[in-house]
A and B are shown apart, each in its own frame.
Chain A
Amino acid sequence: MDFGFTKEQEAFRLEVREYIKTEMPQKWETLGYTVWEETDESWAITQEWNRKLGAKGWLALTWPEEYGGLGRSPVDQLILDEEMAAAGTPTGVETMITIGWVCPTIMLFGTDEQKKKYLPPAARGELTFCLGYSEPDAGSDLAAVSTAAVEDGDTFVVNGQKVWTSIAHRADYCWLAARTDPDAPKHKGVSMFVVDMKSPGITVRPLINILGFHSFNEVFFDNVIIPKESLVGEKNNGWYQLAIALDFERSGVGGPARMKQVIDGLVQYCKETKRNGTPLWKDKGVQQELARLAVDAEVLRLLCYRITWLQINKKTPNYEASVTKVFGSELLDRLSNVGMRILGPYSQLDRGSKWAQLHGGITRSYLNSPSMGIGGGTSEIQRSIIAMRGLGLPRK
């Protein structure tokens, strides 16, 4: 058992830290932007940041060199993720989707042509995906997707509707789950496709989220004709690929480092701020809550290290990913809640108000927090996955 890092790994950590210190865009920092925000401005900043990282080979650090990575180990990836999360670098949701979830799945199941076509530009930060999973009647029950892809000569014809599709309005391609066999049992008739978002017949309609951002969308497919080469992996084997992509989605390892940073920020704030004349940190309740969060964030960090450990051993994290997803999202909720309690009446103010505290970041995090246990599979579903896939409990 060894929780330490090698000399080379420590050196890499310092290199990353130094890089971020000099290269982090000023504007992102001063505005206190966070990953879930989506504006023209934030998009421009994240895109530029991705391209810069891409040029260094850091955007897709662990990918083979032929696909634009540096072939580095999952531990180096962990270090990079931790440092970037701690510093709150301009990493948008599109980066996680493209680099973290979709491309690794294409790497596992795609043809050589597909890999050559999508991976190198993605690694340069020049190509983004959105996720075409959810539909009005297929949320938690994702295998119920009804958007149809019907084979027609050298093409497939796609018809149907997706919903909650994050950044569909900006993405180059959609990673689409569609039904290819309406007669098979629902898990056995789904296939995965890569669809050019500029294809005729695609309409994207914005949905505004409760923070007021246009981040997710409805996407309509009306007789969209896509070439046969859009199919990734075997026809009707999509559910398996989808499950793996979802495991990647739930495997983020940078979260605890970010939370640690927010907790440290709150501690600092409590040291500098007086409430009714008494320094906040002297409040026993505040001390206890912050201490509890710090302990929990540490536990989460170790649960995330287990994910990296599985990856080092060439295993795809399974229910272990659901453990970090459900614990992590609920911890983030608690963190926002504690932050709001510490800010008291000031918790009502977002950036833009001179009385806003900590750039209003806690306030936005609180507004974002209901989505944490929903997006990427709800907490209830994660717990069922842990129970059934992890513990082998019966389904019925």
Chain B
Amino acid sequence: MDLEFTKEQKILKSSARDFLKKECPSSVMREMKEDEKGYPEALWAKMADLGWLGVMVPEAYDGIGGNFMDLAIILEAMGEVCCPGPFFSTVVLGGLAILDAGSEEQKKLLLPKLANGDLILTLALSEPGAWYGTSVINVQAVADKDEYVINGTKLFVENAHIADYILCAARTDKGGSPDEGITLFLVDGKSKGITCTVLDTLAYDKQCEVVFDNVRVPADNIIGENGKAFSVLENLQEKAAVGKCAEMVGCIQTAFDMTVAYAKDRKQFGRPIGSFQAIQHHCANMVIDVDGARFITYQAAWKIAEGLPTSMEASMAKAWTSDASRRVTFLGHQIHGAISFCEEHDMHLYYRKAKAAEVAFGDGDYHLEKVAQQLGL
């Protein structure tokens, strides 16, 4: 057992932090709120130069051939500054789906572009009427000669408005059970019949409603096997959930650090508020939440990196970290008093971001249920 990062991981972590602190301070999240695209292009290009976009892409496809732990380290650093943009949807959702289930041609075509920063991807999974998971897929894809015709509405699709490709989970067959008959399509983002509406969301991210109206996709653009996408999507969501945990770990670490620094600095009744037992107890509770989140997340990331079964650990990580993030960012506000209820103060960025990550890929309740199932309940 070794609960420390390797030397390489330590270097990655500190360089990622330094880079983002300089290139992506919290002001960027504020600026991107009003930005149509939602990310600074120069920052994206620099991330490509650093090899981040190809962190999981094998060297044969122009990537740097890292593993999920490396990815988690980058995501954590991004969480620390609430870094906006299409990294998660491109590298985690699109990239891992193609890596795990794409054909050789698809990999050859897409992965080098991905690593070079020339590709923005996203996953269209959620639908109206669904909450979390894959159990409601009603968007239809009907075969028509060597094409499929997709119809229906997807929700909460991150960055669909700028995506070169949308990976769309659609129903190609009724299937014996809801798990069967789902197919994953690589849909050109500029296809005729796609309408994207950016939703005005809590964390100022660019999640979209995407309406597919007779969108035609070549049959070659199926990722994985026809009708067999369920397990690909389950696997992907597990990783995505852990990825979100890594973001949250960074997010709440910053919120926590800001708060402890403030508690030492702010004086009332002639002494630092951090000297009051009430505040000390809040801080102690935050330590449990932050440290707990960190370890349970690292464990899940490590298991993925090692190629071990991760369902249980991933759900445990997402359950704990989702709830911990909510508590920590809330106490962050509480300990700051009114100053953090001010728009200008950064705490609400973390409060917002924590919520968005909490409801992405299953909240605490959803994952607790999964844990219960796996315990045999």
B258 within 8 A of A: no
Q: Do residues B199 and A353 form an inter-chain contact, with CB atoms below 8 A?
A: yes
Q: Do residues A210 and B343 form an inter-chain contact, with CB atoms below 8 A?
A: yes
Within 8 A of B (CB), among A270-293: 274-277, 285
Cα separation A210 to B348 with both chains bound (whole Å): 6
Instruction: Report the interface size for chain A: residues with CB under 8 A from the other chain.
Output: 46
Q: Do residues B338 and A341 form an inter-chain contact, with CB atoms below 8 A?
A: no
A153 within 8 A of B: no
Q: Do residues B359 and A344 form an inter-chain contact, with CB atoms below 8 A?
A: yes
A38 within 8 A of B: no
Within 8 A of B (CB), among A183-215: 207-210, 212
Stretch touching chain A among B124-132, B226-234, B283-291, B301-309: B124-132
Chain A nearest CB from B103 CB (Å) reads 31
Q: Do residues B341 and A210 form an inter-chain contact, with CB atoms below 8 A?
A: yes
Stretch touching chain A among B3-11, B79-87, B200-208, B212-220: B200-208
Cα separation A369 to B209 with both chains bound (whole Å): 28
B340 within 8 A of A: yes
Cα separation A297 to B129 with both chains bound (whole Å): 30
Cα separation A363 to B202 with both chains bound (whole Å): 8
Contact residue among A333, A345, A348, A383 (Cβ-Cβ distance under 8 Å from B278): A383
Stretch touching chain B among A65-73, A251-259, A372-380: A372-380
Point out the residues of chain B lying under 8 angstroms from A373, CB to CB.
334
Instruction: Report the interface size for chain B: residues with CB under 8 A from the other chain.
Output: 49
Point out the residues of chain A lying under 8 angstroms from B347, CB to CB.
370
Q: Do residues B334 and A345 form an inter-chain contact, with CB atoms below 8 A?
A: no
Stretch touching chain B among A81-89, A133-141, A171-179: A133-141
Point out the residues of chain A lying under 8 angstroms from B279, CB to CB.
380
Point out the residues of chain B lying under 8 angstroms from A163, CB to CB.
338
Q: Do residues A352 and B341 form an inter-chain contact, with CB atoms below 8 A?
A: no
Q: Do residues B338 and A139 form an inter-chain contact, with CB atoms below 8 A?
A: yes
Q: Do residues A344 and B363 form an inter-chain contact, with CB atoms below 8 A?
A: yes
Cα separation A89 to B333 with both chains bound (whole Å): 29
Cα separation A350 to B355 with both chains bound (whole Å): 14
What DSSP secondary structure best describes chain A's contact surface? mixed
Q: Do residues A370 and B365 form an inter-chain contact, with CB atoms below 8 A?
A: no
Q: Do residues B348 and A139 form an inter-chain contact, with CB atoms below 8 A?
A: no
Contact residue among A333, A348, A350 (Cβ-Cβ distance under 8 Å from B330): A333
Given A139-B268, A212-B343, A333-B330, A277 contacting B199 (CB threshold 8 A): no
Point out the residues of chain A lying under 8 angstroms from B50, CB to CB.
none
Q: Do residues A208 and B342 form an inter-chain contact, with CB atoms below 8 A?
A: yes
Given A347-B359, A348-B202, A370 contacting B334 (CB threshold 8 A): yes
Cα separation A355 to B130 with both chains bound (whole Å): 13
Q: Do residues B202 and A378 form an inter-chain contact, with CB atoms below 8 A?
A: no
Q: Do residues A274 and B343 form an inter-chain contact, with CB atoms below 8 A?
A: no
Contact residue among A134, A276, A352, A374 (Cβ-Cβ distance under 8 Å from B333): A374
Q: Mark B307-340, 1 if CB is under 8 A from A, else 0.
A: 0000000000000000000100010011001101
Q: Do residues B155 and A355 form an inter-chain contact, with CB atoms below 8 A?
A: yes
Contact residue among B136, B337, B363 (Cβ-Cβ distance under 8 Å from A341): B363
Chain A nearest CB from B150 CB (Å) reads 20
B133 within 8 A of A: yes
Which among B130, B131, B269 has the highest number of chain A CB atoms within 10 Å? B131
Cα separation A163 to B209 with both chains bound (whole Å): 41
Within 8 A of A (CB), among B249-289: 267-270, 273, 276, 278-279
Given A140-B269, A277-B136, A349 contacting B201 (CB threshold 8 A): yes
B24 within 8 A of A: no
Cα separation A207 to B338 with both chains bound (whole Å): 11
Q: Kindly report which residue of chain B lies nearest to residue A136, judged by CB atoms.
A: B339
Q: Mark A326-367, 1 if CB is under 8 A from B, else 0.
A: 000000010001001100110111101101000000010011
A9 within 8 A of B: no
Q: Do residues A380 and B278 form an inter-chain contact, with CB atoms below 8 A?
A: yes
Task: Give the A-B contact count at a CB cut-off of 8 A.
Answer: 126
Q: Do residues B343 and A345 form an inter-chain contact, with CB atoms below 8 A?
A: no
Within 8 A of A (CB), among B347-373: 347-348, 351-352, 355-356, 359-360, 363, 365, 369
Cα separation A352 to B201 with both chains bound (whole Å): 11
What DSSP secondary structure best describes chain B's contact surface? mixed
B374 within 8 A of A: no
Contact residue among A353, A355, A374 (Cβ-Cβ distance under 8 Å from B341): A374
B156 within 8 A of A: yes
Point out the residues of chain B lying under 8 angstroms from A349, CB to CB.
199-202
Within 8 A of B (CB), among A107-143: 134, 137, 139-141
Cα separation A209 to B278 with both chains bound (whole Å): 25
Contact residue among A210, A274, A341 (Cβ-Cβ distance under 8 Å from B365): A341
Q: Do residues A374 and B131 form an inter-chain contact, with CB atoms below 8 A?
A: no
Within 8 A of B (CB), among A212-232: 212, 216
Q: Do residues A370 and B330 form an inter-chain contact, with CB atoms below 8 A?
A: yes
Cα separation A348 to B343 with both chains bound (whole Å): 18
Cα separation A213 to B36 with both chains bound (whole Å): 23
A239 within 8 A of B: no
Q: Do residues B337 and A276 form an inter-chain contact, with CB atoms below 8 A?
A: no
B344 within 8 A of A: yes
Point out the residues of chain A lying under 8 angstroms from B203, CB to CB.
348
Point out the residues of chain A lying under 8 angstroms from B356, CB to CB.
348
Given A348-B201, A352-B200, A378 contacting B207 (CB threshold 8 A): no
Q: Do residues B131 and A141 form an inter-chain contact, with CB atoms below 8 A?
A: no
Point out the residues of chain B lying under 8 angstroms from A367, CB to CB.
202, 348, 351-352
Which among B202, B278, B351 has the highest number of chain A CB atoms within 10 Å? B202
Q: Which residues of A contact B (CB under 8 A)?
A: 134, 137, 139-141, 144, 163-164, 207-210, 212, 216, 274-277, 285, 333, 337, 340-341, 344-345, 347-350, 352-353, 355, 363, 366-367, 369-371, 373-375, 378-380, 383-384
Listed by A's residue number, 27 A-B pairs whose Cβ atoms lie within 8 Å are A134-B338, A140-B268, A141-B269, A210-B343, A275-B129, A276-B131, A276-B136, A285-B365, A333-B330, A345-B126, A345-B131, A345-B156, A345-B359, A347-B202, A347-B359, A348-B199, A349-B200, A367-B202, A367-B348, A367-B352, A370-B351, A374-B333, A374-B337, A378-B337, A379-B334, A380-B278, A380-B279
12 further interface pairs, Cβ-Cβ under 8 Å (given A276-B130, A366-B355): A139-B268, A209-B342, A333-B330, A337-B326, A341-B363, A344-B131, A344-B132, A353-B200, A355-B128, A355-B199, A370-B333, A375-B338
- Nearest 6 pairs of A and B residues by beta carbon: A370-B333, A210-B348, A208-B343, A380-B278, A141-B268, A348-B202
